Amino acid sequence: MFRPVSSQLNLPQIEEKLLHWWKQDKIFERSVENRRGGPRFSLYEGPPTANGSPGIHHVLSRIFKDIIPRHRAMKGYYTPRIGGWDTHGLPVELEVERELGLSSKTQIEEYGIDKFNARCRESVFRYLKDWNALTERIAYWCDLEHPYVTMENYYIETVWWAIKQMWDRGLVYLGYKTAAHCPRCGTSLSSHEVALGYEDDTEDPSVYIKFKVARWTGKEDEVSQRLSQLALSRDTYFLAWTTTPWTLPGNTALAVDADADYAVVEADNGHLILADALREAVGLGDNKVVMKVEGGYLVGAEYEPLFNPHESGVERRRFQSSAELLTQEPDKDLTYRVIATDFVSMEDGTGIVHVAPAFGEVDFEAGKEQGLDFVQQVDLQGNITGNYSFAGKFVKDADAPVLEELKEKGLLYRSETIHHTYPFCWRCSTPLLYYVKESWYIKTTAVKDSLISGNNEINWYPEHIKHGRFGDWLENNVDWAFSRERYWGTPVPIWRCKSCDYRECIGGVDDIKDKPGFKGLKEPLDLHRPYVDDMTYDCPQCGDTMRRVPEVIDCWFDSGAMPVAQMHYPFENETLLEDGRFPADYICEAVDQTRGWFYSLHAISTLLFGRPSFLNCICLGHILDAKGEKMSKAKGNVIEPSAVINKYGADALRWYFFTSSPPGNVRRFSADMVSEVTRRFLLTLWNIYSFFVNYANIDQFTPGAKGVLSHSELDHWIISELNQLVADVDSGLENYDPSGAGRKIEAFVYGLSNWYVRRSRRRFWKSENDADKLAAYTTLYQCLVTVSKLLAPFTPFVAEEMYQNLVCSVFPDQPESVHLADFPVTDMDKIDQHLAADVRLIMRVSSLGRAARSEAGIKVRQPLSRLLIKVASERQKRALKHLAPQVMEEVNVKTLEAVDDMPVTKHKEWPLASEGDVMVMLDTDITPELAAEGMAREIVRRLQMMRRSAGFEIADHIVTCYQGDEYIKSVVTGSADYIKQETLSEQLLDSAPAQGAYAESFKLEGHELRLWVKRLD
Ligand SMILES: [Zn+2]
Ligand SMILES: [Zn+2]
């Protein structure tokens, strides 16, 4: 006997029960261990930062990470899965800063780096309980008890080793370059971090500035002479455009396109020079053009600085050939000059570009190439230095006063605002500044070709990521600025001599301990700041002290090094690269990681080993709310995962995520959608399951170990479909397509419910336990058990619940959990493509027949005489002939008639329905005999409803009494056997009510009818 199953599905309750049991009996651990010795399947956990509660998008990525290894484990792969935590970096520091009320790096240093880092270490695992609880609750199976943790010494040591490998190959350098800088966090961001924080629709000033021509020098040609004359006759200005007025004090050059045409136009207080093509756009289209010249003639012209740095209290330096900057003497008649570059746009602005080498990549490069002056009037906190009227202000706040001052000087031509895309710090939302400073770089561009060829070995899902988002990113690779001027991170393992600037990279703890004159080691060892900063040794060049450089490493480097660092390679686990643990067979995260973790993983393994560290990657789309808006705390539309799970169950959420849309799509999410999925799929499945269990118990059906030979076509059909399903689901999961696989299961379960079970009902109901009934039970049993195994990776709870009852309660020698069972294998011999096609045809014909009925407004219970059918092929005709009884039953007609042409002209009123090459027409003439038969069916239906209302069991036999007019009597007498059989009525009496009977009255087609039902003892 199976445990009785309620038709109500209380998923959360079932799940809590199973979670407890899985934990107690270590089902996860055993699901891994019992496959030891099998081929390895390796998953890398992209480590989440544990300093925040997990959200709904974490559920999405965790269940997609979960499903594939679960499937592989059932297929015999050894798939240990190790959890991990990303513990370093700015997010952690920011949280601690907030708690301590610190707002700058100076304050942190005053507070003490040791104390600050101790707080960081402590704060990291504050949310760990939440994370572990959610991870367990959604049945994401991975080892949470032995996770890798990026802040542990062993992890840091491997990261040092990795940097040292790159250092030894000359791939680490100290660059003097522009970098995106977050003034609030006081650190550079790497280009992939910058890519994370672009915000559209940012409002900024859009201003046109006048730069006064001082003189034209050096050229004797006629055009230059004329230009010079013009400038002498009236004030003449170059007109340039910018969206960052705060950079204007740093201006040291104007750039033009040497080949473009420029115009000198008349304006109110003098001449303005700008690109001819942009006159119209700037609003100078109607002004008189005094002269047109090629940009080349403008090159070399000198103009007056907007702000003379020497009068503003800031240093003026100049690029030397070696990219050094040399301080320049004060000059009160300072002028700058016009240069030609290839980055001048004729699309917007004025065709004259304001160049400030301290604040931009191209500006910096131009400065180096052309030996320009360099004025840096902004400090690392983003505040203006010097003695400007706007000194001390944060750059963005300086925009307005800068413009105010230029306006007073008569140098502001026009001021507006624009909306454009601007990068913000992805952690703290402060606008980023491009800033020239020193930074440690990894020369990833040196391995660009390997990065690209390695990408060819990776399978991306969806596929377009490979040559799209990820491929593009690799094509445009720039060196990785990996140092951060911060505190809580893996320290950069470079020691430097202050006297002779000799530098060394340290590749491990023993490496530094062996250095001459080593001191500063504190026990217990902690490889963080400030303790590492105390470790010093003697400079091998000059004997002075080697000290560590102050920076820490970008935390993306930490997470990208996880394939080796989690194993403390090569200090331990020397066989890592050969034993199947590297590369990962599978990783999965959201699409924003193409420039985050996916990139750092790929870059590091390419740098270290010249090959990719993962072979298959599901790249998930983002989750939006039901209206399609981004979820954010500010908007208040964030959905707490636990609320959904506690109401509908983790399996409902899992199934929704797997099947609602392919993994790469952006998806909308609401609790209603989860509820709908529960109703549509999980409840349908549950109904079949509870139907089976309840009837099987009545008939005391016990599944045999061996299959039963069935002669039913319906059985053959569903078993064929089942085997096809096994093949489809297996290949779907093999090919990283859980959504496609899940939808196949959904379609199968729908067919099982709406065709197989519905059409087999009579076989389960009939009183005799014959071979046909046994075949029906055996078939449905096989379907349910197989589906439970197929579902195990998708909805581990529902699958387990069904498996426990269907399998474990009957076969004690079977694996005690569905997750310890083998994944089903297709029996190809059982797949009958012809039968499948035939059944699809009759399903289609039946549904067309019902559509025709509903068009004519005739209920399905009313039998009709015939259905006319037109099909295209001989094969279809044969199939229809063969399977006619099923169609007749489905459509409730007495005969099927195959026709070559529909008698549409003769029977205009008969409804037609068609789909593709199939057309049906329904004969709607109702004879008195058909009407009586329809009435008998109505009565049966009323009696069946009454049995339920009266609370009878399915198998209870009853006595039925009725009273009605002559017509009713003739109908009941005429169909007595049919009514008795359908309603399990031993007697059918035209008489007054029996004592204690359940009664109801009806009016059917205008005929009064009273019915009584009474259970037989
Ligand atoms: Zn920031
Ligand atoms: Zn030295």
Shortest-distance ligand to the CA of residue 498: 2
Q: How far is the CA of 117 from the centre of ligand 1 (A)?
A: 18
Q: Which pLDDT value is given to residue 1? A: 87
Q: Which pLDDT value is given to residue 937? A: 94
Q: Which of 358-362, 518-522, 907-911, 993-997 has the lowest mean pLDDT?
A: 993-997
The rounded distance, in Å, linking the Cα atoms of 942 and 1008 is: 13
Q: How far is the CA of 537 from the centre of ligand 2 (A)?
A: 11
Tell me the range of 70-84, 424-438, 947-961 where mean pLDDT is highest.
70-84
Mention every residue, 6+ apart, whose C-beta is less than 8 A from residue 174.
Answer: 438, 439, 440, 441
pLDDT in tens, 733-762: 999 999 999 999 999 999 999 999 999 988
The overall average pLDDT reported for the chain is 93
Q: How far is the CA of 495 from the centre of ligand 2 (A)?
A: 11
Instruction: Answer yes or no: pTM beyond 0.75.
Output: yes
Cβ atoms within 10 Å, residue 941:
13
- Side chain identity, residue 34: N
Q: How far is the CA of 52 from the centre of ligand 1 (A)?
A: 17
Question: Between these two residues, 199 and 512, which has the higher pLDDT value?
Answer: 512
Polymer length in residues for the chain: 1017
Whether residue 268 is predicted with pLDDT greater than 90 in this model: the reply is no
Task: Give the residue from 471, 618, 594, 577 showing the smallest Cα distance to 68.
Answer: 618
Spell out a b/e string for 776-788, using b for 16 or more CB atoms within 10 Å of the CB, else e: bbbbbbbbbbbbb
Shortest-distance ligand to the CA of residue 497: 2
The pLDDT of 169-175, averaged and rounded, is 89
Mention every residue, 6+ apart, whose C-beta is less than 8 A from residue 574.
Answer: none
Shortest-distance ligand to the CA of residue 537: 2
Shortest-distance ligand to the CA of residue 499: 2
Residue appearing with tokens 């409902």: 652
Q: What pLDDT band is residue 554 in, cutting at 50, 70 and 90?
A: very high
Task: Give the residue from 290, 296, 286 showing the smallest Cα distance to 273.
Answer: 290
Mention every residue, 6+ apart, whose C-beta is less than 8 A from residue 244.
Answer: 204, 205, 359, 395, 399
Q: How far is the CA of 425 from the centre of ligand 1 (A)?
A: 5
H, E, C per residue of 435-474: EEEEEEEECHHHHHHHHHHHHCCCEEECCHHHHHHHHHHH
Residue 974: φ, ψ to 5°: -65, -30
Q: How far is the CA of 499 from the centre of ligand 2 (A)?
A: 5
CA distances from 104 to 91, 382, 395, 484, 961 (A): 15, 12, 16, 15, 90
Q: How far is the CA of 394 from the centre of ligand 1 (A)?
A: 14
E strand or H helix that includes residue 144: strand 143-149
Q: What pLDDT band is residue 488 in, cutting at 50, 70 and 90?
A: very high
Give the residue numbers annotated as catalytic, written as ranges.
47, 86, 556, 593, 597, 630, 633
Q: Which pLDDT value is given to residue 321? A: 58
pLDDT in tens, 607-623: 999 999 999 999 999 99
Q: How far is the CA of 59 from the centre of ligand 1 (A)?
A: 27
Q: Is 119:158 a contact under the CB 8 Å cutoff? A: no
Q: How far is the CA of 557 from the centre of ligand 1 (A)?
A: 18
Q: How far is the CA of 189 from the centre of ligand 1 (A)?
A: 9
The rounded distance, in Å, linking the Cα atoms of 703 and 810 is: 8
Reading the block at residue 506, the tokens are: 């340290």
The pLDDT of 504-521, averaged and rounded, is 96
Q: Which pLDDT value is given to residue 766? A: 79
Shortest-distance ligand to the CA of residue 500: 2
Shortest-distance ligand to the CA of residue 539: 2
Q: What pLDDT band is residue 323 in, cutting at 50, 70 and 90?
A: low
Q: Which pLDDT value is given to residue 909? A: 87
Q: How far is the CA of 182 from the centre of ligand 1 (A)?
A: 5
- 429's torsion region: left (phi>0), alpha (psi -120 to 50) or beta? left
Q: Is 401:204 a contact under the CB 8 Å cutoff? A: no
The pLDDT of 191-201, averaged and rounded, is 83
Q: Which residues surround ligand 2, an ion (CB under 5 A)?
A: 497, 499-500, 502, 539, 541-542, 544
Q: Which residues surround ligand 1, an ion (CB under 5 A)?
A: 182, 184-185, 425, 428, 430
Mention every residue, 6+ apart, whose C-beta is less than 8 A from residue 201.
Answer: 419, 420, 421
The pLDDT of 871-879, averaged and rounded, is 89
Reading the block at residue 759, the tokens are: 């059409």
293 - beta bridge partners? Answer: 262
Q: How far is the CA of 91 from the centre of ligand 1 (A)?
A: 9
Instruction: Quickly list H helices, 462-569.
Output: 464-465, 471-475, 509-513, 555-560, 562-565
CA distances from 765 to 44, 694, 956 (A): 52, 12, 11
Question: Between these two residues, 77 and 215, which has the higher pLDDT value?
Answer: 77
Shortest-distance ligand to the CA of residue 189: 1
- Asked if residue 462 has a cis previous peptide bond (ω within 30° of 0), the answer is yes
pLDDT in tens, 331-344: 989 999 999 999 99
Q: Is 175:441 a contact under the CB 8 Å cutoff? A: yes
